[in-house]
Structure 1
Amino acid sequence: MTGLTPDAHAPSLAKIASSAYDSILEVIGSVEPRIADATRQELTDQRGSLKLIASENYASLPVLLTMGTWFSDKYAEGTIGHRFYAGCQNVDTVEAVAAEHARELFGAPYAYAQPHSGIDANLTAFWAILAHRVEGPELEKLGAKNVNELSDADWEELRGKLGNQRLLGMSLDSGGHLTHGFRPNISGKMFHQQQYGTDPTTQLLDYDAVRAKAHEFKPLIIVAGYSAYPRRVNFAKMREIADEVGATLMVDMAHFAGLVAGKVFTGDEDPVPHAHVTTTTTHKSLRGPRGGLVLAQEEYAPSVDRGCPLVLGGPLSHMMAAKAVALAEARRPDFQTYAQSIADNAQSLAEGLLKRGGKLVTGGTDNHIVLLDVTSFGLTGRQAESALLDAGVVTNRNSVPQDPNGAWYTSGVRIGTPALTTRGFGHDEFDKVAELMVEVLSNTQPGQTKAGGPSKATYVLADGVADRVKAQSAEMLDKHPLYPGLELT
């Protein structure tokens, strides 16, 4: 079974959850009924749409319920057994369990469960690397134990060194993430940054080109990982390149952590043994709550452990508890079946689009992402995203390599299979999804600007298409209900 974990959603537990959520919403509604109503409507909307956003999923009912507890009320700055607030013994248990599950699941020597999000995990990792690689040696040279012992002049010199290091990351239009050195993002302002891209012809990572760029630029940090690259990465090669230039290899596996946890990516494609530091979110393909993790080799553990006060404030104890539950679920054997289904379903979706004339970046996929170039339909990504949403197909527009339409309008639509795989969709359903997407896009025309020229934003979807697609989608969705057995009054 690839759905929301086998025994966690037995009929008796679904019945208990139904009672729990009815009670929760009644309590919420007694204070602010609009929030209760919006919460009910969100479940209805998610149940009735084809969720294909690659970064979204459905957390299990145990994970969702874990987030709504009195752990939310506890301050717990610091680390396990070393807090700046009293009365944190239960938080210590929660954080220790979350870290234990993360270490065991990913085979990591060290795990840090406090980051609130993916960007927090990346910031923690960046500053931990800087503290380990720059601050530590400089403090030792000056005979100081920490920055508080430095003179103002020494601190200013050290601060200049900390803020003037080089970072090499994947470019946004090639599939990288904002936090991998994109200039408007804080990562692009923290570092003197350059980016590596993909081969202009194949749109695949060219490791020789990455190596040449690294030797020329000599970065302190090389960031690998992606948010919109539909292929696997050889992290052993990336580590070789980092070692050649004396760089720290940091891997952001936020998108594909579920495929690592589920043993779809192993050997050279598993980043954890090869990276010095690995970051991830806990939602997306990992199917947990919204939050982050940092995994590290032992030498970086003391610096990562300073996430608070280095970058973070008080950890969100209720979210760490939910992470622990989700990671425990991911350690079950059925999660490996689920993870493999994600990848298999992406293949089915890609093949379905290709045989119907779709144009895919890199020509296909071997992870959970399919990146559809919609210029073959005469549309921008924004037009395609909006037309698909009208028909109940939820995607997000995304840049393609060397995108002529820029990062706002884009030329692509990013599609992911984790969420519908959680609902139990398989090969036949994803082939049908491809058919419905092509039907929508083939029946959409660009609109016009007020001046009468071609628009990059507005569009015209042919009459009747949206209703027809919604009706066909409903047949599949009804066969694979979201949170089966959960009924709200």
Structure 2
Amino acid sequence: MPSPSPDGQSGQRRPALHATDPEIAALVRDEERLQTETLRMIASENYVSTAVLEATGTVLTNKYSEGYPGRRYYEGQQVVDPVEELACARARALFRAEHANVQPYSGSPANLALYLAFAKPGDAVLGMSLPMGGHLTHGWDVSATGRWFRSSSYGVRRDTGRIDLDEVRSIALHERPKLIFCGGTAVPRAIDFAAFAEIAREVGAVLVADIAHIAGLVAAGVHPSPIGHADVVSTTTHKTLRGPRGAMILCGAEHAKAVDKAVFPGLQGGPHNHTTAAIAVALREAATPEFGAYARAVVANARRLGEELAARGFDLVSGGTDTHLLLVDLTSRGVPGKPAAKALDRAGIVVNHNAVPYDTRRPFDPSGIRIGTPALTSRGIGEEHMPLVATWIDRVVDAVRTGRTGVEEQVRAEVRELTAAYPAPGLPVD
């Protein structure tokens, strides 16, 4: 059950919600407390600014706007049109793209729109294998994209843990896919967009760069950009970009019409205008020097944390990271990923269990954990704290292996001390 709010602050901050639905108000308050007191190290999570939160909660949620600016199916778009135009203009400027569509509801619908735009059911598609670090919508068999299209997948080398571009080319030459996806959800190394583009040109495929995880790093120039290499770029607007839960598609002018028609009316109805406004705010924030410093710190934190974990005997897939995340194989520690992740969660360090390349365990009980630094960095926690974080992870994982009790509680208390010193953006401070 949700805990009560003895200080009454949840009612003071959200009086209408507290009065109308105290159960939901209490749950929101509990989530605030959880996000305040824990180290959120899910690679796909972050903290948005107060400005982004405010934009998400505006009266723009009341408005229906099927169509595009200047070409709507409803009247009364005098305000909504400039909001979307501003978001698109900021996206084009930030990523140096010729066209931007900010209407997709999230990353998976954005990718589905690209299938609709550039392929037909039964066509061949090529993407990174899910167990190797890819995404469900890159043609994996449990997704509609793997059921409606003839999908093939590539992986990483056993010896390096890095994408095997020779394998990618060999499969592409054999299958002749209409779409090739690069990018994924557990890829710790920089993606060679130029090499993927060369393969796509050789087989006549449309190259889609899914940068959902690394969009903020790309925007800040700390990861190579796919613009100029990939025909189309899809991305979420949260994760490293620190925006609301939404998505964008970027492309050249020659693909703009096909992309827009696939999003609407092909796949969805009216956009979520409150989300569009929050995307615009996040894009403005991402264009600042402060955001650039943040993105550099995200990568520096991930690299330092990887070094510290390796020094404590953890096996890192690919040996380290170029990005915001680490993929850790716990096989040598004698602890599966799921019990390790649950123990870390109880200790106030929130990660997720994750398959590692060539994993011999089941997907829901895999050998590894995935660790990210975007949210931790948003709090101002820096490289100097990574040895401490690595020590906490080491202590908890070792306690799982040995059955030692009391470690989770001790670490959680220490985590609270650190988080109290580094308040999270957008969250109220008691």
Once the 2 structures are TM-superposed, how far is the Cα of residue 487 of structure 1 from its aligned partner? Answer: 3.8
Between Structure 1 and Structure 2, whose CA radius of gyration is higher?
1
**Aligned pair partner of 2:167 in 209, 218, 222:** 209
Q: How does 1:182-261 map to 2 (within 5 A)?
A: 182-261=140-219
| One-letter amino acid of the counterpart of residue 226, structure 2 | P
What is the match of residue 271 of structure 1? 226
Aligned in 2, Cα 1:482/1:247: closer, same or farther, shift over 3 Å?
Answer: same
Separation in 2 of the partners of 1:462 and 1:115? 47
Seen in structure 2, the aligned counterparts of structure 1 residues 485 and 353 have a Cα distance that, compared at 3 Å, is: closer
**5+ residue gaps, structure 1:** 1-19, 131-161, 446-459
- The equivalent position to 1:347 in structure 2, one of 303, 320, 326, is 303
TM-fit CA distance, 1:462: 2.1
The equivalent of 1:284 in structure 2 is 239
Deviation at 1:484, TM superposition (A): 7.9
Partner of 1:305: 260
Q: Residue 107 of structure 2 aligns with which residue? A: 118
Q: Matches of 1:354 and 1:41 in 2, distance apart? A: 35
SS in 2 for 1:325: helix
Q: Which residue of 2 aligns with 1:139?
A: none
Question: Of the candidates 324, 329, 334, which is equivalent to residue 378 of structure 1?
Answer: 334
Size of the aligned set, in residue pairs, is: 421
Q: For 1:84, which of 73, 77, 84 is the aligned residue?
A: 73
Deviation, 1:62, is 0.4
Query: What is the root-mean-square deviation of aligned Cα atoms in Å?
Result: 1.5
1:97 aligns with 2:86: yes
Q: CA deviation at 1:483?
A: 3.3
Deviation of 1:191 (Å): 1.0
Shift of 1:22: 5.9
Counterpart amino acid of residue 89 in structure 1 = Q
Corresponding residue of 1:394: 350
Q: Matched residues in 2 for 1:184 and 1:405: separation?
A: 18
Select which of 414, 420, 440 maps to 2:396: 440
Identity of matched residues, %: 43
Query: Which string of whole-angstrom CA distances, capped at 9 and with x for unpartnered residues, describes residues 168-224 of structure 1?
Result: 000011110111111110111221000001112211112122111111111011000
CA contact (8 A) 1:374 1:413 kept: yes
Q: 1:317 to 1:375 in 2, by over 3 A?
A: same
What are the Cα deviations for residues 369-402 of structure 1, in whole angstroms up to 9, with x where unaligned?
1011111221211111111111111000111011
User: Under a length normalisation based on structure 2, what TM-score does the superposition of the two structures give?
Assistant: 0.95
Which runs of structure 1 show a deviation greater than 6 angstroms over 4 or more consecutive aligned residues?
Answer: none
2:387 is equivalent to residue 479 of structure 1: no
| 1:249 and 1:277 in contact (8 A); partners too | yes
Structure 1-normalised TM-score? 0.84
Contact persistence 1:26–1:36 (CA under 8 A): no
* Rounded Cα–Cα distance in structure 1 between residues aligned with 2:400 and 2:313: 15
Amino acid at match of 1:384: A
